[in-house]
Amino acid sequence: MKRYFLLVLVLLGAVPALIAKTPVIGISAYSEDGRCQVNMTYINSVRMAGGVPLVIPVTSDDAQIAAIIATIDGLLMTGGEDFDPLKWFGEEPVRGLGEVVPARDEYDVKLVRAAVAAGIPVLGICRGEQLLAVAFGGSLWQDIPSQVKDSYVKHRQSPTTGTIGTHSITIEKGSLLARTLGKEKAVVNTFHHQAIKDVPKGFRVVARAADGIIEGVERSGKLPDFKDGGAMILGVQFHPEIITNGGNPEFLPLFQKLVEEAGK
């Protein structure tokens, strides 16, 4: 009897440790020159937010992706190359289209769909925001300068460091993005020439640049055409991780929100 009593005490003592488990945040990688890698700015931002970063190698193997999804508590989809427009939203490529990496497209789409189906919260950054459209039935502007005639904001501010903002965005009042940042206006960095054009069902636009280009999206309800576990889905077109690593905590709450949701 004493042995069982001790066992119960041990198990009860383990409960707080289980509850206090630090969320593991998977970070999507890119593949280059025979290596899978990710910028340290993403890793550091997750650490600063209180999560454990786990870099996910590029793969299209369904069993491996399922095993990865079973390991992580949250998912951060990173920036990178352009998407193949013909495969993912049925458009011929325009002249301004940049580098396309089919293996990464496949990996990103499978990974984010699996996370959403499993009820794992997702934060998409730059390409990661565009991925939310590509993976769930929307489309992209392949090249803003040549396709969006009314666009007058410079959305690709290279070669700036990215640690300071270069154009403003307006955030929808009451949105998850506005509540997380505690504001309805922000000045952001910008390194893109693509953007979401058609927003998929189940998502809504929550931030725009002054020229109307979409700068933030989040779920508006259940995704009707895909398996959906109902967790947070949030995407931003700018790079909060660079500003965060530059010592400005203005956008750290985005990563803290991901970690918070991942801990539920």
Query: Rounded to two decimals, what is the model's pTM?
Result: 0.92
Catalytic residue among 129, 241, 260, 261: 241
**What is the model's pLDDT at position 20?**
62
Positions in the chain whose pLDDT score sits under 50:
1-19
HSE, side-chain direction, 13 A CA sphere, residue 258: 35
Catalytic residue among 126, 155, 167, 215: 126
| β pairing state of 233-236 and 122-125 | parallel
User: Options 2.20.25.90, 3.40.50.880, 3.20.20.70, 2.60.40.1730; which CATH number does 24-262 get?
Assistant: 3.40.50.880
Active site residue 126: yes
Q: Which uninterrupted H or E stretch holds 69?
A: helix 62-69
Q: Which uninterrupted H or E stretch holds 139?
A: strand 139-141
**What is the model's pLDDT at position 161?**
86
Catalytic residue among 129, 193, 239, 260: 239
Active site residue 36: no
